[in-house]
Amino acid sequence: MDLQVLVERESDVIADLRHTDRDRDLVNALRLREPMATECLVTRYGERAYRLAVRITGNGQDAEEVVQDAFWTVARKIDTFRGESAFRSWLYRIVANAAYQKLRGWQSRRHDISLEEAVPLFDESGRHVAPVADWSPCVDDPGTQVELRTSLSAAIAELPAPYRIVLVLRDVEGRSNGEIADALGLNVGVVKTRVHRARLFLRKRLADCMATLETATTA
């Protein structure tokens, strides 16, 4: 195994141990149902949990409800936490699942996009059917960057719930495919497929945005 990989894994383990030690007092307080335990939980993890929830749901009000529900679940089910992973990882899995359920409930009431129609088309050899334009040199323009950020946010909001959550956890939160699979009860292959397809969808949306900008510039 590569030495760098071993060093990185050892660093991750050390970081988890430090967080586990830091949260031991919080876990004990929650288990003992101490009056200030929940407030301590909110103080320590409320902001990070909210950021994760709002990235998944795309809505501040929904994110607040998600965090409240998730923290209530943490307090109620703290005795099921076995310490096999860091407390923060266990907490974030609960937040992610609560946000996922909120997103699924919201999207079930509207027409979801079809990724089959939205992602780029490929031939039998796996090549793009249509030529893929390289617009990366154009993104240095500040105005273009604003348009792309807006388009990216809109595209993420369009993704069906199963694709949005894996994309957010993988590309925004930096979680590994294994962690995501564990959190959502999926196998790693499904996670990889969904992340790949979500990225293809976003790339196509950004390419469409760039094409629109170029047309407006040359008109």
* 54 contact partners, CB below 8 Å, separation of at least 6: 60, 62, 63
pLDDT of residue 63: 92
The residues that bridge with 122 in the sheet, in sequence order, are 128
Listed range (6-10, 138-142, 176-180, 209-213) with the worst mean pLDDT: 6-10
Q: Same domain, yes or no, for 159 and 71?
A: no
Q: How confident is the model at residue 13 (pLDDT cuts 50, 70, 90)?
A: very low
Q: Same domain, yes or no, for 45 and 102?
A: yes
Continuous segment of H or E residues that includes residue 119: none
| Strand ranges for 71-203 from DSSP E | none
Name the domain count of the chain: 2
What mean pLDDT is reported for the chain?
A: 77
Q: Same domain, yes or no, for 30 and 95?
A: yes
Q: Same domain, yes or no, for 99 and 124?
A: no
Contact 155, 205 (CB under 8 A): yes
Q: How confident is the model at residue 189 (pLDDT cuts 50, 70, 90)?
A: very high
Q: Same domain, yes or no, for 25 and 74?
A: yes
Listed range (11-20, 112-121, 158-167, 202-211) with the worst mean pLDDT: 11-20
Q: Same domain, yes or no, for 25 and 120?
A: no
Domain boundary, last residue among 88, 107, 126: 107
How far apart are the C-alpha atoms of 95 and 69, rounded to whole Å? 8
Domain boundary, last residue among 107, 129, 160: 107
pLDDT of residue 140: 60
pLDDT of residue 190: 92
DSSP readout, 39-104?
HHHHHHHHHHHHHHHHHHH--HHHHHHHHHHHHHHHHHSGGG--SSS-HHHHHHHHHHHHHHHHHH
Read off the tokens for 33: 């149902």
Q: Same domain, yes or no, for 99 and 148?
A: no
Q: Same domain, yes or no, for 135 and 67?
A: no
Q: Same domain, yes or no, for 61 and 123?
A: no
Q: Same domain, yes or no, for 77 and 166?
A: no
Query: What are residue 175's phi and psi, to 5 degrees?
Result: -75, 150
User: pLDDT tens for residues 70-81?
Assistant: 999 999 999 999
Predicted TM-score (pTM) of this structure = 0.66
Mean pLDDT of 115-119: 53
Please identify which residue in the block is written with the tokens 């301590």.
40
Determine the structural domain holding residue 126 and report its residue range: 115-218
CA 121 to centroid of chain Cα atoms: 25
Q: How confident is the model at residue 123 (pLDDT cuts 50, 70, 90)?
A: very low
DSSP percent split of the chain into helix, strand, coil, nearest 5: 75, 0, 20
Domain boundary, last residue among 107, 125, 144: 107
